Amino acid sequence: MEGDAGDPGEKRGGVRTWKLTLEYDGSRYSGWQEQKNARTIQGEIRKAAEDFFGVQVEIQGAGRTDAGVHATAQVAHLRAPTLKKLHPDAILHQLNDRLPADIAVLSVEEVSPRFHARHDAATRTYAYRISTRKRAFEKRYVWWVKEKLDVPAMARAAQMLVGRHDFRCFRAGDPSRPDESTIVEVSSALVELDKDLILFRIEASHFLWRMVRRLVGVLVKLGKGEISMEDYQKLLEARCDPRLNVAAWTAPASGLFLERVYYPDPSDRQRRRR
């Protein structure tokens, strides 16, 4: 379903659309996207919403997080045919009571029936958490790297990601999108150290499959001194090299969080469409 033409709100009366902001611990799930015979975040939210509304609803998320990946602020839209004017807080409480403990709705607001969580999102921000120590409380939310890392080198390398690059050396082939372009515009990228936590944060219009986890894997290799800054630059210039086995270095899903989805002001969006 592409474009705005499929929005039920435009075709039928009595269909309302809400923007949901969601937090979830992805550990137990096969990712966001609904699949047969697998427990997914989208599936759980659909189940809760259909139980509450008593009819079929449409749920679309801004980012398709992979198995084991978390979100602190995923955005989804919920479209349901209903004649009742519902208070957004009532929907929030009803959904939270029906959802498992590791999925929480943080906020609900009614939006235009034209709103589409995925198509309207201008950028997504992902954060990756590397711990330099064992953590009793956060094992499922970090990648614990025991070796010493050169954090300033990693920070310099992260800075170089900003701008327009061909990320073909960092992508996993996505069978559902064979013709996807590998050019990505990165609006910000940084590595910062917060005591015993190394945080990598990247904002871009879109991301290729496994791109963030492979970037982190390569940054950690660089931090350990196992590849050089020249190797890193080659990858960033799309000069892939079988010696640099990026796929094998993919960072574990546990440290990855979808942290923010940015929607430009509606009036800006109208302007862009003209």
Residues at the contact surface with its own copies, assessed by CB under 8 A: 23-25, 70, 96, 101-106, 133-137, 139, 141
Toward its own copies, which CB reaches closer, 102 or 110? 102
Nearest distance from C-beta of residue 239 to its own copies, angstroms: 39
Measure the N-to-C terminal CA separation of the chain; round to a whole number of Å. 22
Residue type, 33: Q
Nearest distance from C-beta of residue 259 to its own copies, angstroms: 13
Toward its own copies, which CB reaches closer, 25 or 166? 25
Nearest distance from C-beta of residue 60 to its own copies, angstroms: 20
Nearest distance from C-beta of residue 224 to its own copies, angstroms: 17
Catalytic residue annotation:
66
Nearest distance from C-beta of residue 140 to its own copies, angstroms: 9
In angstroms, rounded to a whole number, what is the distance separating the alpha carbons of residues 3 and 198? 39
Strands 58-61 and 143-144, sheet pairing: unpaired
Toward its own copies, which CB reaches closer, 5 or 101? 101
